[in-house]
A = this chain, B = another copy of it.
Amino acid sequence: MTNDTTRREALIGIGAAAGLALLPQAACAQPARKIGYAIVGLGNYATNQIMPAFANCKDARITALVSGTPEKLAKYGAQYGVPDKNRYSYATFDRIADNPDVDVVYVILPVAMHPEYSIRASRAGKHVMCEKPMAPTSRECEAMIAAAAKAGRKLMIGYRSRFQPHNVAAIDLCRTKAIGDLRMIRTAHGFPIQPNQWRLDRKMSGGGSMMDIGIYSLQAARYLAGAEPVEVTAVESTDRRDPRFATVEDRVDFTLRFPSGLLASCISSYNSNHNEYRAIGSEGWVELEPATAYRGQAMRVRKGGETSTPNIDTSGPDQFAGQLDHFARCVRDNRMPIVPGEEGLRDIRIIEAIYRSMREKRAVSLA
């Protein structure tokens, strides 16, 4: 509990003492309980990016941990004040159904485990946040959506960039036609991947660079375009002699065609560093580089023959806290998250079409 919340709750207490509790408004004024998150999977991303972000959340807090490693449960349980009774192994995970401290289960596991733990969490009556890519196949995405719907619970995919201020500003510039009519989108995401990790095992990852980092190019193209692609053409290049790429793809070039005729030229790579996009309009362009990194985003805007570097207000919550708070408020207010399971499914369907296009060496219709 933050000092701020304590102070607000104390003030409410004073209000109640003054007899205001009899008024219906008083119920509204009462500060909402922070939504409790169970973190499933205590790997790098969970422990270094997501869990520290709760310190900046207004509406979300960590209330439970799930891990197959007792040492991690002990370490992070102590660090985040999660009591013994709220620490779970994968064997005891389903008992989370009986834990009122947990509202949301956040699945941060290797991709192949997303469907199982997302569905088990829905069946336990919990809302689910699941990391991207949502699942190895669209069929599994559909099962995850169906399980959440059957349980009457929400499902959100961890598309943090949608809560990142520079990305929000870039989307706004495209949507308000500040750079004129959108003519072209170019985006590239990649990094030289280290060997010996689950991302390079197709059974665990569902695919290579496209699933892991290329999905940022795909998402960016879609959120900048503000439309759904109708056709994809993809070209793969993978050195199968490289032991890293025994089961997954390295490089993918893919072009998305949108209904307006707009093309997005996208790159995904496990062999070179890229983190950028540029949306080019009839009157200028907006560029982010880095675009979707954990931090350090920078924007350039070209308009009227001048290139400027606008100052984006980053004094609010960062993308990680923004994402956690957004879903907390959706749960509390019974609203649909801006990136629900259906959004994760859309990306996976397009990635399946990209894989088909690069396999069959032809354009694949998404209509």
Contacts and interface: CB of A to CB of B under 8 A. Distances in A.
Interface string A183-227: 110101000100000000000000000000000000000000000
B251 A253 contact: no
B261 A239 contact: yes
Contacts of A253: 233, 255, 263, 265
Given A183-B271, A183-B272, A184-B269, A255 B235 contact: yes
A361 interface: yes
A238 B274 CA distance: 29
A300 interface: no
Interface string A260-299: 0111010101011010000010100000000000000000
Contact of A233 (B184, B267, B272, B361): B361
A363 interface: yes
Number of copies: 2
Given A235-B233, A265-B265, A361-B233, A251 B184 contact: yes
Contacts of A363: 235, 361-362
Contact of A186 (B237, B267, B271, B362): B267
B237 A263 contact: yes
A257 interface: yes
Contacts of A362: 361-363
B184 A272 contact: yes
A179 to B, nearest CB: 10
B267 A184 contact: yes
Contacts of A272: 183-184, 280, 282
Given A184-B251, A251-B184, A361-B363, A237 B257 contact: yes
Interface in A346-366: 361-363
Contacts of A280: 272, 274
A251 B182 CA distance: 13
Nearest to A241: B261
Contact of A261 (B186, B237, B265, B269): B237
Interface string A65-88: 000000000000000000000000
27 contacts: A183-B269, A183-B271, A183-B272, A184-B267, A184-B269, A184-B271, A184-B272, A186-B188, A186-B267, A192-B282, A233-B235, A233-B253, A235-B255, A235-B257, A237-B257, A237-B261, A237-B263, A238-B261, A253-B255, A265-B267, A271-B282, A272-B280, A272-B282, A274-B280, A361-B362, A361-B363, A362-B362
Question: Which 8 A-B pairs give the minimum distances between C-beta atoms?
Answer: A361-B363, A362-B362, A183-B272, A235-B255, A253-B255, A237-B261, A237-B263, A233-B235
Given A183-B271, A233-B233, A235-B263, 5 more contacts: A183-B269, A184-B271, A184-B272, A271-B282, A362-B363
